């Protein structure tokens, strides 16, 4: 299998796990981060022969995203799958939320949907081959969460966009889904109290990045070719 896959925000956490899992499955992986780092270089090395390319751009920057993606596609060919994983949080109660905290999260988490997919989808469509779009979203976008009005809005927005885009691309054999994560063990959730997790999550534990990457791998497979327009929860029963 030589299908190329772009994964945004791949230097660590869920994005890194997805990159490694898909490389192991035989996909050619294009990795991305806002800046180059030792973590990203390490990932490149771990991907080995299934490393395709490394794109350094901020997903909130429309022009830089378009330039990097367009250049990569011209050099290496269209992506079979685009995994929208890059995301940030800036938690605060709504009345105390600053404009920067609101706009920063929306720019990275929601506007990146357009910035990454708009330049990458038409080259895929022109191949007339099957394709996949998967967005990593959050249980916060489904049920909300205290102190995360900005984050919840951004993730709910992506879930809505996914459902609309899925309708447009279904006849072209391109599936579009999101994976809405609950509490997953990453740097982003390291400060969540274990007692709270046991209280709030019916499964009594946090999920692993491998449990998320496994769902993504399935959604990219032929077995998932009739699954589209879905928000798939990986949340231990949280909602």
Tokens of 141: 């976008």
- Neighbour count for residue 164 (Cβ, 10 Å): 11
Q: Which residues contact 65 (CB under 8 A, 6 or more apart)?
A: 57, 58, 59, 112, 115, 116, 119
DSSP at 189: G
Alpha-carbon gap, residue 217 to 183, rounded angstroms: 20
Buried-exposed string 25-63: b where 16+ CB fall within 10 A, e elsewhere:
bebbbbbbbbeeeeebeebbeebeebbbbbbebbbbbbe
The active-site residue, picked from 79, 80, 151, 226, is 151
Q: Is 226 a catalytic residue?
A: no
- Neighbour count for residue 1 (Cβ, 10 Å): 10
Work out the burial of residue 65: count CB atoms within 10 Å of its CB; fewer than 13 is exposed, 13-18 middle, 19 or more buried.
Answer: buried
Residues that are catalytic: 151
């Amino acid at each position: 299998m030589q299908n190329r896959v772009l994964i945004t925000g791949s230097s660590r956490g869920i994005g890194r796990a997805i990159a490694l899992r898909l490389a192991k499955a035989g996909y050619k992986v294009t990795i991305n981060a806002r800046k180059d780092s030792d973590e990203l270089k390490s990932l490149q090395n771990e991907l080995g022969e299934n490393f395709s390319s490394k794109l350094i751009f901020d997903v909130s920057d429309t022009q830089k995203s378009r330039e990097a993606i367009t250049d990569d596609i011209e050099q290496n060919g269209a992506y079979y799958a685009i995994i929208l994983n890059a995301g940030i949080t800036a938690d605060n109660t709504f009345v105390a939320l600053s404009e920067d905290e609101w706009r920063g999260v929306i720019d990275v988490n929601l506007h990146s949907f357009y910035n990454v997919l708009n330049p990458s989808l038409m080259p895929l469509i022109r191949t007339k081959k099957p394709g996949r779009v998967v967005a990593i979203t959050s249980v916060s976008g489904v049920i909300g969460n205290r102190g995360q009005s900005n984050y919840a809005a951004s993730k709910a927005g992506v879930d809505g966009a996914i459902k609309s885009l899925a309708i447009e691309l279904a006849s072209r054999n391109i599936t579009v889904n999101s994976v809405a994560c609950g509490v997953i063990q990453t740097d982003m959730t390291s400060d969540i109290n274990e007692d709270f997790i046991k209280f709030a999550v019916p499964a009594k534990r946090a999920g692993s990045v491998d449990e998320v990457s496994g769902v993504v791998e399935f959604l990219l497979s032929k077995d998932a070719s009739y699954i589209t327009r879905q928000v798939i929860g990986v949340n231990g029963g949280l909602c």
